[in-house]
Amino acid sequence: MFTKIIATGSYLPEKVLTNDDLSKIVDTSDEWIRTRSGIRSRHIAADGEETSDLAVTAATRALAASGLSVLDIDLLVVATTTPDVIFPSTACIVQDKLGAKNAVAFDIQAVCSGFVYALSIVDRMVSTGQYKNALVIGAEIYSRILNWNDRTTCVLFGDGAGAVVVTRSETPGILATKLHSDGSRRAILNVPGHVRNGVVYGDPHVHMDGQAVFKMAVNVMADVCNETLAMANMTAADIDWLVPHQANVRIIDATGKKLGVAPEKTVVTVQGQGNTSAASIPLALDTAVRDGRIKAGDVVQTVGVGGGFTWGSALIRW
């Protein structure tokens, strides 16, 4: 048995924060942010709006596009690094808010690779026949873990959610997945602080060595794409759409070049969203499905990379 993505959905919070808005908060400029990252604006969740709320709206839109009822969903996985609370999982909160009573629900934490990790796990759980219809959601509110006085990080991220519906299928949809981790590289991108017994230890905001992350991302993204292509007996020439994690246009361009995929075949949404971590790939997928670029039968190469360090790829026949 195989698995197939049959529908997508996404949600971006209403509030838009432009580069010019940011230049009033920290010492930066639209020109610096655009030339270094390609980002022009990002969305910011409202007070009281939780990661689970973003996830629920994205999932509701994906479900509507799938034609399935929420009660048909028997597996619900949320990839997030910014859960509503330490526990229960955001997936359990989403299950309740959606009314997905028949679903087993859990979270995956692999930072910006979380969606690809979740898709890989769900592919196994559905293709073995144990589950039939899954919701895989990436949802993040990074605006709450950023230091808004640190111009080297706060300009790069945004909030949002994307979702896909994965079902059992007689024909191949998800063709191959490959995941990697290297915990020895955890210091280049992390949130070092935490709260214990009500006391904050360290800094509970995103820390990043931008240049080290840039080099690592460019090194590993094309390689893991080639691994999944080889598993499916394909080459980069077979790719109709490259849908990479949306961190930075320069990382995306360098990955496309290294892999040999033309810019016209690469989906880029980071300009208006910033880096939405685990939400970025399903947000980009939904954009390209709804604007008619990704069509049935297309070969779609997704690739994620993020803190941990983690990276992975899922090769999909749409």
Residues acting as catalytic residues: 112, 245, 275
Among 2, 30, 32, 203, binds ligand ACO (CB under 6 A): 32
Number of Cβ atoms within 10 Å of the Cβ of 227: 17
* Cα-to-chain-centroid distance, residue 43: 15
Q: How far is the CB of 186 from ligand ACO (least distance, A)?
A: 13
Strand partners, 178: 313
Smaller CB separation from ligand ACO, 16 or 208: 208
**318 and 172 Cβ atoms separated by less than 8 Å:** no
Among 3, 10, 37, 310, binds ligand ACO (CB under 6 A): 37
Give me Rg for the CA atoms of the chain: 18
146 part of the interface to ligand ACO, by CB under 6 A: no
151 part of the interface to ligand ACO, by CB under 6 A: yes
Size of the site for ligand ACO (CB under 6 A): 24
Smaller CB separation from ligand ACO, 299 or 303: 303
Stretch touching ligand ACO by CB under 6 A, among 86-94, 117-125, 243-251, 292-300 = 243-251
DSSP per-residue string spanning 55-77? HHHHHHHHHHHHT--GGG--EEE
Of residues 176 through 235, those in contact with ligand ACO by CB under 6 A are 189, 208, 210-211, 213-214, 217
**Which contiguous run of DSSP H or E holds residue 225?**
helix 210-231
303 part of the interface to ligand ACO, by CB under 6 A: no
Round to whole Å and give the CA distance between 108 and 98: 19
> What length does the chain have?
318
Cα–Cα distances (Å) from 227 to 112, 174, 232, in that order, read 19, 14, 9
Q: How far is the CB of 204 from ligand ACO (least distance, A)?
A: 17
Q: Spell out, one character per residue from 261 to 300, where the chain touches ligand ACO: x when CB under 6 A holds, - when not.
A: --------------x-------------------------
Stretch touching ligand ACO by CB under 6 A, among 29-37, 62-70, 80-88, 98-106 = 29-37
* Cα-to-chain-centroid distance, residue 93: 19
Q: Which of 282, 219, 203, 280 is CA-nearest to residue 254?
A: 219
Contacting positions for ligand ACO (CB under 6 A): 28, 32-33, 36-37, 112, 151-152, 155-156, 189, 208, 210-211, 213-214, 217, 245, 247-248, 251, 275, 305-306
